[in-house]
Structure formats: C-alpha cells, structure tokens
Amino acid sequence: MINIEKDYALDQLNTFGMPVKAPYFSVIRERADCSSLAANAPEGLPVLILGGGSNMLFTQQPDKWVIKNEIKGIELIGEDETHIRLKVGAGEVWHEFVLYCIAHNYCGIENLALIPGTVGAAPIQNIGAYGVEVKQLITKVHYWDIEKETFDYLDNKDCRFGYRDSIFKQELKGKYIITEVEWQLSKTPSLNTSYGNIKEELDSRQITQPGIKDVAEAVIAIRSSKLPDPKVVGNAGSFFKNPEVKNEVYEAIRAQYSTAPGYKVGQDKTKIPAAWLIEQCNWKGFREGDAGVHPKQPLVLVNYGTASGTEIFELSTRIIASVEEKFGITLEREVQII
Ligand code: FAD
Ligand code: EPU
C-alpha cells in the first residue's frame, strides 16, 4: 500500500527552493509500486514525477499528485571482454552512480560527474557535459506507461535523443514513469579531455597520464568554480539551451562581433553559447529583488532567497525578448516549467 501525505512541502525537493506544497505526495521505492498508483490516485489526480527537482521551476502550486522516484539498485546484467552492462534504478542519485562507475573502473561516464539529479531523469533531456551525452551510454530505458498501465521499454534508437531532448520531453511527455535505465560502459578508458579547460585543469594538477578518476576530479573542480551550488543559491543549471543557428546567421553575427564564439554542428549549423548572447545584452550579474542572472555564468538564473517562480519566469521572458531583439535568435528554455 502506497503512503500518501497531504500538503507536503517541496521547498527542499526542488533546487530553485520554491516554497510550494504538493496537495498529495508519495514516494515510490520499487518498480511494482507503479502498478498500484492508478487505483490509489487521490481525487483521481494525474501524477507529477519528481527526481532531484534540479531541472524544474514551479511557477504555481502543483495541482497534481507528486510522486518522488526513489527506485534504487545497480545490477550487473552483462559483461564481455570490452564492456559491462548495468541496469540502474531511476531513483539512484546521478553523481553517486558516476562515482560507483569510477570506483569499479567502468569507463565513459566520468565527464558527467557532479550533474545534479537522478539516473531516471538523465535520458529525459539526454544530460550532457564536457563533450559527453548520456545517449552515448544508454542502451534501454524502462518505464511504466501511465495510460496503458503496463511496463514497457525503449531501445536507445527509439528514445530519439537530441541535444537536451528525447521522446520523453516530446510525444511521451507526462505519459510515463521511468523505472530503470540500462547502460553500457567500457572496461578500458578512452578519455575525452578536449572540451573546455579539462586539459588545463589536469596540467595545473601536474597530471600527465590521467585516468578516469582524474578526469572526473578535473570536471568537478571546473564545474564547482563556474556553477552556483543549489544548496547555497537556488538554480536549475542552464536555464536556456544553446541555440543552433544556420551558419549564415552565425557569420552575420561574426561580421559585427569578431569574437562571437560558435561551434560547428554538422555541415549547416553553428551552436552559439547562449551565455555569450545573454552577456552581450548586459544581463550578466543582473538582479531584481531576489531573482537574478548569475554573475559568473549568465545562462544560469538564480533565486537569491525569496524570488517567486513567476519572477524567475518573467526574467527569462525578458532575456528571451532582448536576445531576440539584438540578434534575431529565439532562446528556448531548457528547464521544465511547472
Ligand atoms: P527533476 O528536476 O526532478 O525532473 C525533471 C523532469 O523530468 C520533470 O519534468 C520530471 O517530472 C521528470 N522526471 C524526473 N524523473 C522522472 C522519472 N523517473 N520518470 C518520469 N519523469 C521524470 N543538465 C545537464 O544536462 N548537464 C549539466 O551539466 C547540468 N548541470 C546542472 C548544474 C546544476 C547546478 C543544476 C541545478 C542542474 C544542472 N543540470 C544539468 C540539469 C539537471 O541536473 C538535469 O536535467 C537532471 O537530469 C535533472 O534530474 P532530476 O532528477 O533533478 O529531475
Ligand atoms: N560564455 C560567455 N560568458 C560567460 C560564460 C560563458 O560568453 O560568462 C561563453 C564562452 O564563450 C564560453 C561558452 O559560453 O566558452 C560556453 O560556456 P560553458 O563552457 O560554461 O558552457 P555552456 O555552453 O554555458 C553547457 C551546458 C552545461 C554544461 C556545460 C559543460 C547547455 C545549455 N549547457 O553550458 O549544462 O555543463 O556546457 O559542458 O548546453 C545544464 O544543462 O544545465 C548545464 C549546466
């Protein structure tokens, strides 16, 4: 029997620290709990699944049955000479899973150290950092289909992974509960240290022959120096995606701003750091009341204490409008607005 609590405070369960209350709140701890949800739904309410609450902004009191996913477990399900396969409960904490892999010398996930949240949320926006995305490592995503009331799974190719995107953010949005994710990791390292300043960080530590632990530690150091800690100041990481524009659009910006950064994506497109666009519009370090734009990383909107979700959302709308006016580029929000 699933335990249901009423008027449950969620301020500690979302990294923006929004002081909202769930009308009803429950925790699921095993896969089988999913199948008893429909029969127990208070007032027939739909569910809102909560992982670590690190990619959502509550702009109103939730009007759903909030279900926190704490399905745990790391199971070795396959192994050959070069790879191992793991099935991991959706409620495992992401960074702890990364540390587990490093401790067991399972390679390929080390660049994704210190990303907040849960394993189950990782496929939803195909989390990525420092040149690696989880789509390179996921083999299957298991889920409970809320409408059909059945367990099902998708293979990697059917998840339609894209940059901060997947089928779970699109067609399947709101229709599933991810229960476990399967991973394939290498037994031998193939380090990716070309992104950002990982190499410089390793050099500064005088590490000439790094292992996966060294790379993870370098990533942790870089991330800690750039991104605000949600325990100290409320935020949900990058609030916007980095826009991908046609090469001509980027070239036109370059003609005006010779230092405009851009990274080729395939043949026709260039990814422009949204942080740069936002900084050019003079938002870096902006603060109004307790809603602000982080002074070191303008892609991150912050709650300095008592900002409301609406204030943060309205600030994001103003930023989108000014980037659109100056550059003709429409930024897309990455964070899930609730
Ligand atoms: P939540 O915020 O709890 O949920 C996000 C969405 O997924 C919601 O819509 C929720 O309903 C849904 N959901 C969650 N779990 C399930 C489930 N099991 N089944 C069905 N639906 C579910 N992201 C990156 O990609 N790269 C980064 O480098 C990065 N850095 C960050 C740094 C900081 C400081 C912060 C605060 C965030 C950062 N993020 C980053 C964003 C965030 O960490 C990821 O999006 C993460 O995957 C969210 O996990 P979560 O468990 O907190 O999801
Ligand atoms: N930049 C500025 N001004 C700044 C900061 C950055 O102009 O104040 C420009 C610089 O040109 C810099 C570039 O932005 O080179 C990129 O900055 P950074 O390396 O910090 O990465 P990002 O593009 O801002 C992305 C992800 C992060 C991820 C990092 C590292 C998105 C939306 N964000 O940020 O993911 O950790 O790369 O790989 O793709 C998240 O999704 O929540 C997130 C934090």
Residues 239 and 305 placed together within one structural domain of the fold = yes
What average pLDDT does range 247-268 have in this prediction?
96
What average pLDDT does range 326-330 have in this prediction?
97
Round to whole Å and give the CA distance between 283 and 291.
Answer: 12
In a domain, 200, yes or no: no
Contact 303, 231 (CB under 8 A): no
- Whichever domain contains 44, its CATH number is 3.30.43.10
Nearest to 112 by CA among 78, 135, 89: 135
Of 69, 100, 123, which closes a domain? 69
- Residue 35 is predicted with a pLDDT of 93
Tokens of 222: 């870089």
Round to whole Å and give the CA distance between 163 and 266.
Answer: 13
Each residue's pLDDT tens digit, 42-51? 999 999 999 9
In a domain, 198, yes or no: no
- pTM greater than 0.85: yes
CA of 24 to the centre of ligand 2 (A): 36
Residues 17 and 90 placed together within one structural domain of the fold = no
Tokens of 36: 């008893």
Phi/psi at 120 (5° precision): -65, -25
- Given the structure tokens 């070309």, which residue do they identify? 194
Residues 20 and 103 placed together within one structural domain of the fold = no
Query: Which atom of ligand 2 is nearest to 276's Cα?
Result: 7
Round to whole Å and give the CA distance between 191 and 115.
Answer: 18
In a domain, 209, yes or no: no
298: domain range?
234-337
Q: How many domains does the chain have?
A: 3
- Residue 1 is predicted with a pLDDT of 77
Place 206 in a pLDDT band, splitting at 50, 70 and 90. Answer: very high
- Whichever domain contains 263, its CATH number is 3.90.78.10
Ligand 2 neighbours (beta carbon < 6 A) = 129-130, 196, 226, 237-238, 241-242, 261, 273, 275-276, 279, 284, 297-299, 334
- Residue 88 is predicted with a pLDDT of 98
Which helix H or strand E contains 78, and what residues bound it?
strand 74-79
- Residue 196 is predicted with a pLDDT of 81
In a domain, 317, yes or no: yes
Residue of 16, 265, 276, 335 best suited for mutating to test ligand 2, as the one with most atoms within 8 Å of CB: 276
Round to whole Å and give the CA distance between 64 and 72.
Answer: 24
Contact 98, 54 (CB under 8 A): no
Burial class (CB in 10 A: 0-12, 13-18, 19+), 111: buried
- Residue 64 is predicted with a pLDDT of 97
- Whichever domain contains 102, its CATH number is 3.30.465.10
In a domain, 275, yes or no: yes
What average pLDDT does range 276-290 have in this prediction?
98
In a domain, 223, yes or no: no
Round to whole Å and give the CA distance between 161 and 6.
Answer: 36
- Residue 161 is predicted with a pLDDT of 98
What average pLDDT does range 309-334 have in this prediction?
98
Closest ligand to C-alpha of residue 181 is 1
In a domain, 213, yes or no: no
What average pLDDT does range 305-314 have in this prediction?
98
Can you list the alpha helix ranges (DSSP code H) found in the chain?
37-40, 94-103, 198-204, 212-226, 247-256, 274-280, 309-327
